[in-house]
Amino acid sequence: MSEKMSVYLDNSATTRQYDQVTDAMAEAMRDFFGNPSSLHRMGLEAEKKVRAARKSLTGAFGCSEEEVIFTSCGTEADNTVLMGAASSRRRAGKKIITTAVEHPAILEPARRLESMGYQVEYIGVDKNCRLNMDHLRAAITDDTILISVMGVNNEAGTVMPVSEIARFKDEYNKANGTQIWLHSDAVQAFGKIPVNVKKQWQGVDLISVSGHKIHGPKGMGALYVRKGLNIEPFMIGGGQERHMRSGTENTPGIIGFGTACDLAVANFEGRVAAMAAARQYLLDGIKAELKDVLINSPEEAGSEAGLCCPSVLNVSFLGTRGEVILHTLEQDGIYVSTGSACSSNKKGRSHVLAAMGLKDKEIEGAIRFSFSEFNTQAEMEYTLEKVKQAVTRFRRLGSFR
Ligand code: PLP
């Protein structure tokens, strides 16, 4: 019998904050509490810190400082794009294209826009959450104002074809004299796949990211807005963030986010390799040692479209209930998720797994394991053993096969 461990495998829900982030934030709260808008020395010191953090994000996006807007979370960044772009571009058209598997931070504003008279088309996916590109290409019309496609799906981990869509959108705009914007919710992609607008993500106009998915603080987000785009601001008031997001800056949060971003960028390859190794070990073990499982994520990990982001593995253990498996594993010190934790307060089956065509029983038995650079092989050996025990016991009690 192995000794009890604590294994955190819910990193798509949130991550453990880096100690360096906590230290930088504590220092900010203690020593840099001035208002960045104040004209005196303390204001200037705080402003300098905010500027340095903004620079950290520009490094990851490959953009300039005036193209980064700090927000209070990924949800705010997503809401700002949908509501703000729809409003500022209402004379250009009323059509928005997104996917059926977006996070509620996109789907809810999209539904609100529908109720306001906008037309929203939701593009479907296959059984591994790969986007139907033919459908997306056919959906684009001259009155389309915005396409919003996530970088990585939060439940299946599938990498979406953002760069391919960007190329197609640019060609369409050129050929038709339109100005369709492309937004990507990169909350799950950031820090795991490259999102540089000068390189891999050339042509992407707007990007949302969140601090707490990259070992940064909760309640921090950012938005890349390509220079020249005019988005109606969501928060109006004191005119901070170039009038794009009013409200006194959350300096400790911004400084913490910048620190997390620096660490993520500096050790990008090492971090991603550690996640990929943990994921591969668990995937191989589950396939070899358990029958009647459905691997819902694409099996191969990587940053290319259609592969799986190395941070996620979604598996249906047929003949079980994910919720029971989750609580059984919890007793062994292992923390996983049954679906998108961000929407766990909403009951019902996962809209992502349903859009992937999974049957109710397959959705019921689904578990999402999500990895970070801190996961070790010893943890995966322990997890595999406990998953096997939990699934076997449930199936025996439920007389499955
Ligand atoms: N978008 C995606 C894809 C997410 O996974 C999440 C959170 O899980 C969000 C947006 C919301 O981010 P935040 O928690 O910072 O509001």
Average pLDDT (297-325) is 97
Name, in order, each residue with C-beta under 8 angstroms of 359's C-beta and a sequence gap of 6 or more: none
pLDDT of residue 159: 98
Residue 340: pLDDT band (50, 70, 90) is very low
Q: What span, in angstroms and rounded, lies between the C-alpha atoms of 388 and 401?
A: 16
Of 303, 224, 298, whose CA–CA distance to 269 is shortest? Answer: 303
Tens of pLDDT along 15-39?
A: 999 999 999 999 999 999 999 999 9
Tokens of 248: 């006194």
Closest C-alpha to ligand 1, atom 5:
154
CATH class of 7-17+268-397: alpha beta
State in Å: Cα 4 to ligand 1 middle: 31
**Euclidean distance between CA atoms 101 and 89, whole angstroms:** 24
Pick from 155, 157, 189, 127: nearest CA to 352: 155
Closest approach atom of ligand 1 to CA 152: 3
Per the annotation, the verdict on 308 as an active-site residue is: no
**Is the pLDDT score of 338 beyond 60?**
yes
Burial of 330 (0-12, 13-18, 19+ CB in 10 A): exposed
Quote the strand ranges of 85-137, DSSP E. Answer: 95-99, 119-123
In ligand 1, which atom is closest to the CA atom of 218?
15
- Counting ligand 1 atoms within 8 A of each CB, the residue from 99, 184, 190, 210 with the most, and so the one to mutate, is 210
Sequence letter at residue 187? V
Closest protein CA for atom 13 of ligand 1: 74
Structure tokens at 80: 């700002």
- Say how far apart CA 19 and CA 29 lie, in whole Å: 15
Q: Which two tokens stand for residue 223?
A: 């938005």
| Cβ–Cβ < 8 Å for 296, 356 | yes
Distance between Cα 73 and ligand 1 center (Å)? 8
* pLDDT mean over 301-312: 98
* Architecture label for domain 19-266: 3-Layer(aba) Sandwich (3.40)
Instruction: Please give the pLDDT value at position 347.
Output: 58
Q: What share of the chain in percent tops pLDDT 90?
A: 95
pLDDT of 342? 42
CA–chain centroid gap for 250, Å, is 21
| Domain ranges for the chain | 7-17+268-397, 19-266
Atom 14 of ligand 1, nearest CA residue: 74
Which atom of ligand 1 lies closest to the CA of 150? 3
CB 341 within 8 A of CB 382: no
Give 10 Cα–ligand 1 centroid separation in angstroms. Answer: 13
Q: What is the mean pLDDT of the chain?
A: 95
Separation CA 220–CA 21 (nearest Å): 13
Best residue among 213, 218, 250, 257 to mutate for probing ligand 1's pocket (most ligand atoms within 8 Å of CB) is: 213
Q: What is the pLDDT of residue 297?
A: 98
How far does residue 339's CA lie from ligand 1's centre (Å)? Answer: 13
Question: Comparing C-alpha atoms, which of 86, 78, 136 is closest to residue 102?
Answer: 78
Average pLDDT over residues 278-292: 98
Ligand 1 closest atom vs CA 77: 16
Query: What is the amino acid identity at position 25?
Result: M
Beta strand pairing call for 95-99 and 144-148: parallel
Domain 7-17+268-397 and domain 19-266, same fold? Reply is no
Task: Report DSSP state, residue 398.
Answer: T
- Token pair listed for 382: 């322990």
DSSP E strand stretches across 288-400: 293-295, 312-317, 334-335, 366-370
> What is the share, in percent, of the chain residues with pLDDT greater than 70?
97
pLDDT at 345 over 80: no
Q: Which protein residues touch ligand 1 with a CB less than 6 Å away?
A: 73-75, 78, 103, 105, 150, 154, 185, 187-188, 210, 221, 342
Q: Which pLDDT band holds residue 339 (cuts at 50, 70, 90)?
A: low
List the beta bridge partners of residue 207.
184, 224
The number of beta carbons lying within 10 Å of the beta carbon of residue 29 is 12
First to last CA, the chain: 27
Q: Give the span between the Cα atoms of 328 and 399, in whole angstroms.
A: 18
Residue at 377: amino acid letter: Q
Residue 208 Cα to ligand 1 midpoint, Å, equals 9
Q: What digits encode the pLDDT tens for the residues 239-256? A: 999 999 999 999 999 999
Across the chain, which distance is largest between two alpha carbons, in Å? 73
Q: pLDDT tens digits for 51-79?
A: 999 999 999 999 999 999 999 999 999 99
Ligand 1, atom 6, residue with closest C-alpha: 187
Atom of ligand 1 nearest to the CA of 73: 15
Residue owning the nearest CA to atom 8 of ligand 1: 342
* Cα gap 145→249, rounded to integer Å: 30
Dist. CA 231 → ligand 1 center (Å) = 21
Digit-coded pLDDT (tens) for 143-197 = 999 999 999 999 999 999 999 999 999 999 999 999 999 999 999 999 999 999 9
CA 186 to chain centre: 5
Q: For residue 348, what pLDDT is reported?
A: 75
pLDDT at 211 over 60: yes
* Helix locations, 201-290, DSSP H: 251-266, 268-289
Residue nearest to atom 7 of ligand 1 (CA): 342
Task: Judge whether 193 and 187 are in contact, CB under 8 Å.
Answer: no
> Given a cut of 70, is residue 399 above it in pLDDT?
no
**What is the phi-psi region of residue 96: left when phi exceeds 0, alpha when psi lies from -120 to 50, beta otherwise?**
beta
